[in-house]
Structure 1
Amino acid sequence: MSTLFLRSSSVNIRFGVFVVLSIMVMFVDHNQGHLKIIRSALSTLVYPLQYIVNLPVEAAEWVSVSLATHNNLLEENDRLKRDHLLLNSKLQRYEILESENQRLRNLLESSFRLNDRVLVAELVAVELQSFRRQIVINKGQREGAYDGQPIVDAAGIMGQVIHVGPFSSTVLLITDPNHALPVQVNRNGLRAIAVGTGQRNKLLLENLTNNADIRVGDLIISSGLGQRFPSGYPVGQIEKVTRDPGEVFAKVLIKPSALLSQSREVLMVWPYKNINETKSTTGNETIGDKIE
């Protein structure tokens, strides 16, 4: 019992001494600041331990922030992709509308060159059989279309109507082998016949002798003979002239002015003599076996 009492007294004494010493150290440090150097040194020694202890917490916070930032970036990237796709689709639509408006403006300008009544029609189908060059437009009997009616685009003559339905019409293009068109050389008025070859962008100029005054680059226009197509409207441009001494006639190839493979809008023309007619009363005029 006495031993236990002595141990307890010794602990209390030591605790009291430590308390007194601590109070004295705090008092001295507060009033005189002699322990700042020691405290600074201890802080320097303890800092690595504090850093190591806080490292897992900071790492967890960094990972959390990084994941949140990554997710935000992914969401932002997805949003930007959607916006980009939407803007691209709108831009393409605007470009399509701009192209369509330009085509219509060109048609309007070309209509001013014609003194006849005209009506805009749209292409709805293309004949895909070999050597046949035909299209279908969305105007028919309701609009007064008739067999033999001229069809042009903003650049030149395209062809003529060969069949009229209630709501649509079939057009024979000038490149069809069954089509022939009276033309003349714009430079000198030399007359000839432009016939289709069945090729997409080729016409053949017939009835021109080897010594005819024709040149590559000459503009070929409609002559108006036959009173079907408007006179003076572009047909094409001479692309190649072949003169064979053993032949009477030169072989002359023309590239059509009309955009036969590109035009979506065309002009139906009612020549002055047919303005009050709803259909041709005399049928198709022919030159040989070809339709003019």
Structure 2
Amino acid sequence: MNTLPETHRRPLFPRGPGLGLRTFFLAAVSVALIFNDSRGDGLQPVRTSLSFMLTPLVWLVSLPSGLMSAAENLDSRETLQRENREFREKQLLLEARLQKLEALEAENRRIRELLASAGRIEDEVLIAEIIGISQDPYRNQITLNKGTRHQVYRGQALIDAHGVLGQVIDVSPLQSKALLITDPDHGIPVEVNRTGMQTIAIGSGELGLRLPFLASNADIQVGDLLVSSALGGRFPAGYPVGTVYEVKHVAGEHFMEAYATPAAHLNQGRQALLVWSESYRMDNHEAELHPDEPRP
């Protein structure tokens, strides 16, 4: 059997320097490099080259962290967008509810004013709901939810918490139609509260009320209050109708005209008061006493 000389035999697991020796060697090299680096910038090119060569490795190492951070930022952005959308929707809902509450508060205030005025009125009254407004710009009319079943009659006066609104011109069992005092076809007998002078106030659309054919020496002034007159028996006396804002002398004529702003808040409420006049109650009373006699 051929055998190799002892000098040519290699161990199966060659052994190098021990761990302690290698550690000592690396430590010595490190100390030498640190000492040399502290004495000058001789290792700066080496450090720069190593930093440039290791840049891809650093980027790869930091890539998972960057991806996680980007994913978290994206998730946070979507969450913020969703929360902002929800907040905007809630804000819109709350604003709508607030507007409704403000509208209800204003309506309750008008109803309280109306009831307070009804308490000060000695005449018989009935609260009616305004359910319709004429769309014709030349007709100032409203529709009420009270009719003959509620004893509403043609010519009945209509007021609000501030003054005369108009009068009923058409009645059905459950509804009635009223003509506002600003309608050009409406006229109401009025009295100048300061002097007691009697005249007629005619509707003039957007201008409010017009008092035509006043005597040139009529005692009427800007700021005078006009109240309803009992002449004709249609309107109860003493209700505010308007306030004079202009007195104009007609050139070449022996009369003058006055213009007044209505006291009632036209087209600003949903309720009104129907007032029974004294003449109507007297007619009904006579009809009850003499049911067989024909009524005019």
User: Mean Cα displacement is larger for which, 267-276 or 115-124?
Assistant: 267-276
- The aligned residue for residue 108 of structure 2 is 101
Q: Any stretches of 5+ residues in structure 1 without a counterpart?
A: 29-33, 284-292
Offset at 1:236?
0.7
Offset at 1:262?
2.4
C-alpha distance in 2, partners of 1:168/1:152?
17
TM-score normalized with structure 1 length: 0.79
Letter in 2 for 1:19: L
- Check whether the contact 2:163–2:240 (CA below 8 A) recurs between aligned residues: yes
| Equivalent position to 2:167, from 149, 160, 168 | 160
Offset at 1:57?
1.6
Offset at 1:167?
0.8
- The aligned residue for residue 217 of structure 2 is 211
- The aligned residue for residue 133 of structure 2 is 126
Superposed CA offset, 1:98-157 (max 9, x none): 111111112112213311121111212222335332211111112110111110112210
How many residue pairs get aligned? The number is 267
Confirm or deny that 1:146 pairs with 2:148: no
C-alpha distance in 2, partners of 1:200/1:80?
44
Q: Any stretches of 5+ residues in structure 2 without a counterpart?
A: 38-46, 288-293
- The aligned residue for residue 185 of structure 2 is 178
Distance 1:130 1:56, change over 3 A: closer
Offset at 1:234?
0.8
Confirm or deny that 1:242 pairs with 2:244: no
Q: Which has the larger radius of gyration?
A: 2
Cα RMSD for the two superposed structures? 3.3
Letter in 2 for 1:236: G
| Equivalent position to 2:269, from 233, 251, 263 | 263
Offset at 1:214?
1.1
Letter in 1 for 2:117: S
C-alpha distance in 1, partners of 2:181/2:137?
15
Offset at 1:227?
2.5
- Check whether the contact 2:107–2:269 (CA below 8 A) recurs between aligned residues: no
Distance 1:7 1:235, change over 3 A: farther
- The aligned residue for residue 19 of structure 1 is 19
C-alpha distance in 1, partners of 2:243/2:71?
73
Distance 1:246 1:55, change over 3 A: same
Confirm or deny that 1:227 pairs with 2:229: no
Confirm or deny that 1:187 pairs with 2:188: no
Task: Indicate the percent of aligned positions where both proteins have the same amino acid.
Answer: 37
- Check whether the contact 1:200–1:261 (CA below 8 A) recurs between aligned residues: no
Letter in 2 for 1:101: N
C-alpha distance in 2, partners of 1:237/1:282?
38
TM-score normalized with structure 2 length: 0.78
Letter in 1 for 2:181: I
C-alpha distance in 2, partners of 1:222/1:158?
11
| Equivalent position to 2:86, from 69, 79, 82 | 79
- Check whether the contact 1:201–1:256 (CA below 8 A) recurs between aligned residues: no
Q: Which structure carries more relative contact order (alpha carbon 8 Å, separation 6+)?
A: 1
Superposed CA offset, 1:68-125 (max 9, x none): 1001101101110111111011111101101111111121122133111211112122
Offset at 1:271?
2.8
